Amino acid sequence: MASKRLIKELDMFNREPSSAVVELATVSDEDLFHLRAVLKGPDETAYEGGLFILSISIPSNYPSSPPEIYFQTPCCHPNVNFKTGEICLDLLKTSWTPAYGVVSTLEAVQQLLSAGGEPDSPLNIDLAKLLRAGDLVGAEGLVRLYTRLYAMGR
Amino acid sequence: MASQHQQAHHFNPQWYFYQPPGQVYHDPVYAPVDYRVQQVAPQQQTPTHQHQAFVTAAGFTALRPQQQRLPVRTRQQTRHARATMASEGQQHAGPSEDEMAEMQKLSNEYEPEVKGPLVGQRQSTNNLTTEYASADPVYQAKTTNLPQKYSHYRTVRGDGSCGWRAIAFGYFETLINLGDGNKFLEEEARLRSLMNTCTAAGYDPSLLEDFAEETYTLLRKVANGMQDGTAENALHETFNDDYVQNFIITHIRTLTAAWMKTHSQDYIPWVVGGSSIDQYCEQSVTPVSSELEHLSLNALKDVLLSPAGITLEVLYLDRSHGKEVNMHRFSPVNHGGYDIGYIRLLYRPLVMNDSFLSRSADISNRGHYDILYMPSDLPPVPVPAAVPTYLQYASQPYHEPVYDLGLPDFMTTIPGMSYANPHQAWVGSSYADSDFFGSSAPVQQCPQPIPAPAVPAPQPQMQAAPVYVPAATAHLVPPPTQMPEELVIRTVPQANVSSHQGFAPQSTGPFRPSTWQLEADMSQHTPLQTAIFRK
């Protein structure tokens, strides 16, 4: 059932591409449960122009459990772990509903980037400190730097 | 308190733009617990800022500016976190970051063991009395009185979805007990039309299809099972198939959320904590193991049960005064009294006390729903084979094969309506003076207007032989005392029309245009009726 649903989702993505997700495909042809996605940095934010690679692993009881999504391209965001790529998004944890798909979840991740995040419960402490101190210019500069450094120019 | 942190740090895009006006969450039940948490807080204030570590570290709340906010969803997490604190809090002399993270991880992954089948077999409520025999006197009294009214109950696994599962199961069961094959088609069509509501609420219909399809499949399966009496087994089996029942529950959760989102003005006054309907749905309706709360219960009733004509009764078995369980009825009053049956749930609220917290067992449940039955809700017991001989003769008609048509017994008493060949009676060429309409005897034998039984497709024949109608009218009118006055003073042709309707094939119940066409209008008049919400 999980694979049937995944095939359907991938099929739908190929027919109607999302504005947020540039690419979504399985890592290898044999394994349907590991996907690779390329997420577009949202326009008019410090992430603009960046292309972020994410790895997605689908649990066997999908869609009853959420997919696990990690940034592979380092992403500077208060709610993303810079080293491991872990994302702190309630949709990926407690708020998951089977009515969401992989693509809509990725879109929510993009929304997380454009919304700026929640610096009070950070995974990226350095950035959160800047934000909490109110240094928005500094924070934006940092984000731009890392986006340019890692997510651009490939 | 700690869970506020947990809640907030899972970022939700919609909350980002939303700053609630400092809502205080009032619940006396939690007050003493909160107090205790704050007492422990100072010793846990460590300067570490590691992700996740703070869910157990209550002291972190001191750093948070928005600590007043506690949305509904987090209550169960709160309990979870508190339970963790109750057991771990005292040991935190100065655990390292890693230890804290490890403990948090364990705590997050902890799932109370849930036992029992997803939906159990129907059993006698005397078992409940036995279960509570050593409980406190209030429970004893209430459970002792329970079997007098409610003869049976059915357990539902308490995994967080019990309320949803109980209602979904009860919905199908009520349709089975109604015994009308057309109703299943009607319901399928209605549920399919609700997909538009889901689209309007922003759900992707192509993903929802998979879930909805399981519901439709079950409706069809059960409808087919009605023929050979396997419907109940099919239903029970399906609801014990974890995968399928999950899909069905997801379907009704999404329907409920979609309904709330598209009728938000009806529900927003009851959302606690200043959240929006969208937030409420994301926290308390659609997540996989979010429990059925009073508000979602109302919405589920409005979208699934009321339009189908099903009344929901919730019986609260709690510590309140009295010798009987408190019943709250959610009847489909706004549906013209159209009423096909009952779903009765036994609700047992979570007992909050310290020993419970420290045991931290079963904490994912804020309360638990099981299904209750009155004797009248039970499907008719088939006449057992071991009846004394002389009685067996009397029960003979039950074994006639045409009984499967679902015709009520009294139909046999009408000349020309024998079970053996109902069609000939309708098709008879000398229709106008056939026994059925010509004789006044049957009218006296059934003193009430015939309640429109599901006669298999008589309509074409009736239209083919319109001649009979004028002759029939005079005989058909039952004694005037039982007729609405307007009908009596009608001119003959009008009366004909009404007599047509009386015999038209419909689902049971008085004639009404459509169950679901009225929805849009209905919803505006649907008050939320719980006394609970008025508090």
Task: Specify the pLDDT at position B378.
Answer: 77
Identify from B4, B6, B7, B9 which residue to disrupt to test chain A contact, counting A C-beta atoms within 10 A and taking the largest count. B9
Which residue in B276, B280, B332 sits closest to B302, CA to CA?
Answer: B332
Q: Answer yes or no: do B180 and B262 share one domain.
A: yes
Q: How far is CA B434 from CA A77, B426, B475, B498, in A?
A: 85, 9, 12, 20
Q: Answer yes or no: do B123 and B105 share one domain.
A: no
Distance from CA of B370 to the nearest CA of A (A): 23
Residue contacts between A and B (CB atoms, under 8 Å): 99
Residue B312 predicted with pLDDT over 80: yes
Task: Specify the pLDDT at position B506.
Answer: 45
Q: Read off the tokens for B423.
A: 């069609």
Q: Does B514 map to a domain?
A: no
Q: Answer yes or no: do B56 and B135 share one domain.
A: no
Residue B282 predicted with pLDDT over 50: yes
Q: Mean of the pLDDT values across residues B259-286?
A: 87
| Number of separate domains in chain A | 1
Task: Specify the pLDDT at position B203.
Answer: 87
Nearest CA in chain A to B51: A123
Looking at per-residue pLDDT, the higher value among A13 and B115 belongs to A13
- List all residues of chain B from 49 to 108 with a beta carbon under 8 Å from chain A: 49, 51, 54, 63-66, 73, 77
Q: Which residues of B137-170 are buried (b: 16+ CB within 10 A; e: fewer)?
A: ebbeebbbebbeebbbbbbbbbbbbbbbbbbbbb
Residues of B in contact with A65 (CB under 8 A): 288
Looking at per-residue pLDDT, the higher value among B407 and B415 belongs to B415
| Number of separate domains in chain B | 3
- Mark which of B109, B138, B169 sits at the end of a domain: B109
Q: Over the stretch A19-47, which tens digit does the pLDDT of each residue have? A: 889 999 999 888 889 999 999 999 989 99
Q: Does B465 map to a domain?
A: yes
pLDDT band at B257 (very low <50, low <70, confident <90, very high): very high
Residue with the two structure tokens 């009185």: B145
Looking at per-residue pLDDT, the higher value among B417 and B274 belongs to B274
In 3-state terms chain A splits into helix, strand, coil percentages (rounded to 5) of 35, 20, 45
Contact yes or no for A94 and B282 at CB 8 A: no
Residue A109: partners with Cβ closer than 8 Å, 6 or more residues away: A39, A54, A69, A87, A89
pLDDT tens for chain A, residues 1 to 154: 788 888 888 998 999 888 889 999 999 888 889 999 999 999 989 999 999 999 999 998 888 889 999 999 999 999 999 999 999 988 888 888 888 889 999 999 999 998 888 888 889 888 998 888 888 899 999 999 999 999 887 5
Contact yes or no for A65 and B288 at CB 8 A: yes
Q: Answer yes or no: do B267 and B328 share one domain.
A: yes
Contact yes or no for A99 and B16 at CB 8 A: no
Domain that holds residue A22: 2-150
Q: Does B363 map to a domain?
A: yes
Q: Does B511 map to a domain?
A: no
Q: Mean of the pLDDT values across residues B256-274?
A: 88
Residues of A in contact with B211 (CB under 8 A): 98-99
Q: Answer yes or no: do B93 and B136 share one domain.
A: no
Is B5 an 8 Å CB contact of chain A?
yes
Q: Which of B74-78, B196-200, B363-367 has the lowest mean pLDDT?
A: B74-78
Ramachandran class of A44: left when φ > 0, alpha when ψ lies in -120 to 50, beta otherwise: left
Q: What is the DSSP code string of B238-261?
A: HHT-HHHHHHHHHHHHHHHHHHHH
User: Which of B13, B49, B65 lies at the smallest CB-CB distance from A125?
Assistant: B49
Q: Mean of the pLDDT values across residues B88-108?
A: 66
At B328, give phi and psi (nearest 5°). -120, 130
Q: Read off the tokens for A70.
A: 């990690």
Q: Answer yes or no: do B372 and B430 share one domain.
A: no
- Mark which of B58, B91, B109 sits at the end of a domain: B109
Is B282 an 8 Å CB contact of chain A?
yes
Q: What is the mean pLDDT of chain B?
A: 66
Query: How far apart (Å, rounded) are the C-alpha atoms in residues A69 and B237?
Result: 35
Residues of B in contact with A5 (CB under 8 A): 210
Task: Specify the pLDDT at position B514.
Answer: 53
Instruction: Please give the single-letter amino acid code of residue B489.
Output: I
Contact yes or no for A122 and B207 at CB 8 A: no
- Mark which of B109, B131, B166 sits at the end of a domain: B109
CATH number assigned to the domain comprising residue A49: 3.10.110.10
CATH number assigned to the domain comprising residue B367: 1.20.1300.20
Query: How far apart (Å, rounded) are the C-alpha atoms in residues A44 and A53?
Result: 20
Q: How many CA atoms lie within 13 A of B21 on its CB side?
A: 1
Q: How many CA atoms lie within 13 A of B470 on its CB side?
A: 3
Q: How many CB atoms lie within 10 A of CB B524?
A: 10
DSSP code at position B380: P
* Sheet bearing B367-373, strands edge to edge: B119-124, B152-156, B367-373, B341-349, B310-316, B326-330
Task: Specify the pLDDT at position B53.
Answer: 37
Of all residues in chain B, the percent with pLDDT exceeding 70 is: 47
Contact yes or no for A120 and B9 at CB 8 A: yes
Q: Answer yes or no: do B101 and B128 share one domain.
A: no
Residue B297 predicted with pLDDT over 70: yes
Task: Specify the pLDDT at position B381.
Answer: 59
Identity of the highest mean pLDDT range in B39-53, B63-77, B183-197, B268-282? B183-197
Query: How far apart (Å, rounded) are the C-alpha atoms in residues B118 and B18?
Result: 39
Q: Mean of the pLDDT values across residues B247-262?
A: 93
Q: Mean of the pLDDT values across residues B230-234?
A: 88
Q: Answer yes or no: do B325 and B284 share one domain.
A: yes
Distance from chain centroid for Cα B95: 47
Distance from CA of A97 to the nearest CA of B (A): 5
Q: What is the DSSP code string of A28-88?
A: SSS-TTEEEEEEEPPTTSTTTT-EEEEEEE--TTTTSSPPEEEESS---BTTB-TTT-BB-
Q: Answer yes or no: do B146 and B279 share one domain.
A: yes
User: Which of B10, B49, B207 lies at the smallest CB-CB distance from A90?
Assistant: B10
Query: Contact at 8 Å (CB) between B298 and B526?
Result: no
Residue with the two structure tokens 């006449």: B383
Domain that holds residue B452: 389-503
Ramachandran class of B273: left when φ > 0, alpha when ψ lies in -120 to 50, beta otherwise: left
Name the pairing type of β-strands B310-316 and B341-349.
Answer: parallel
Preceding amide of A63 cis, omega within 30: yes
Task: Specify the pLDDT at position B324.
Answer: 82
Predicted ipTM of the assembly: 0.76
Q: Answer yes or no: do B74 and B180 share one domain.
A: no
Which residue in A104, A98, A96 sits closest to A12, CA to CA?
Answer: A104
Q: Answer yes or no: do B246 and B370 share one domain.
A: yes
User: Which of A8, A100, A112 lies at the smallest CB-CB distance from B13?
Assistant: A112
Residue B188 predicted with pLDDT over 90: yes
Looking at per-residue pLDDT, the higher value among B206 and B7 belongs to B206
- Please give the positions of A annotated as active site: 88
Q: Answer yes or no: do B45 and B134 share one domain.
A: no
